[in-house]
Amino acid sequence: MSTIYIMWLRELKRYWRSKSRIVGSLGQPLLFLLALGYGMGSVFQRAGEGNYINFLAPGIVGMSIIFTAVFSGVQVIWDRQFGFLKETMVAPVSRFNIMIGRTLGGATIATLQGVVVFLLALIPGFRPYNWALMLPAVLVMFLVAVLFTALGTAIASVLSDMQGFQLIMNFLVMPLFFLSGALFPLSGLPAALSLVTKFDPLSYGIDALRELLLNQGVFGLGLDTSVLAVVTLIFLAAGSYLFSKIQI
């Protein structure tokens, strides 16, 4: 447990030392929230779907979480290239504990990022329908963050250069985000697109946030959390195995 705590604390310290990273990771979510929220708001309202900023905010929170979580895997490649990973891996501790600590650290950072975006979304007018459900919403954010941090670590464990990671992440993360229903309702979609969204784990995370924050879920909170929990365990197992096989 001490190894997990040390790695968790190390990831937090590394993040807070990078002020530009903190500011930069907020830019894209705010741009999407303001540009789309105001730009498409009137169209969304005329379609009879209500306030688009209210609808959009949980999706943008999910966006900030997935980007921060997945790209935390870059640190594995960075540490490998500069020798920091070797110092960690040769220590007489379990590689599984190292991976879990790094994952929890990255997930904590991604969750805090999601909470900050949620608070910023209050400025243009987003309002949750029940503040008492904010704590369960944060727990859902953390579950989503663990899922995608484990995915990022798994992918980074089999790559050796930054360029390859960036290419794969952009090819993977952008479709996951755009097909999750973050920007559009999941109900009433064409059959083919609806099927694709059901295979996107982020769809269940954003749907759970909308259920808790807006009372507008599609799949149901029970199914959302069950799918997220199962996929998280699968990615944690895959990430732990691949991380343990890293050649240093």
DSSP assignment of 208-220 equals HHHHHHHS--SS-
Mean pLDDT of 48-62: 83
Per the structure block, which two tokens stand in for 224? Answer: 């959302």
Sign of the Cα torsion 194, 200, 206, 211 reads: positive
Find the angle CA(217)-CA(105)-CA(22) to the nearest 5 degrees: 80
Q: Rounded CA gap, 92 and 86, in Å?
A: 12
Mean pLDDT of 65-76: 83
Looking at the chain, the number of H-run helices and the number of E-run strands are 12, 0
71 pLDDT exceeds 60? yes
Tens digit of pLDDT for each residue in 93-137? 677 788 888 888 889 989 999 999 999 888 888 888 888 999 999
Confidence of residue 92 (pLDDT cuts 50, 70, 90): low
Question: Of 51, 38, 33, 21, whose CA–CA distance to 182 is shortest?
Answer: 33
Confidence of residue 187 (pLDDT cuts 50, 70, 90): confident
Q: Rounded CA gap, 73 and 151, in Å?
A: 8
Please state, as a whole number, how many other Cβ atoms lie within 10 Å of the Cβ of residue 1: 8
pTM reported for the whole predicted model = 0.89
How would you classify residue 44: left for phi > 0, otherwise alpha for psi between -120 and 50, otherwise beta? alpha
Q: Rounded CA gap, 144 and 65, in Å?
A: 7
Strands (E), 44-172: none
Confidence of residue 49 (pLDDT cuts 50, 70, 90): low
Per the structure block, which two tokens stand in for 230? Answer: 């199962």
Q: Which pLDDT does position 171 carry in this prediction?
A: 82
Q: Rounded CA gap, 7 and 98, in Å?
A: 6
The residue type at 80? R
Q: Which pLDDT does position 147 carry in this prediction?
A: 94
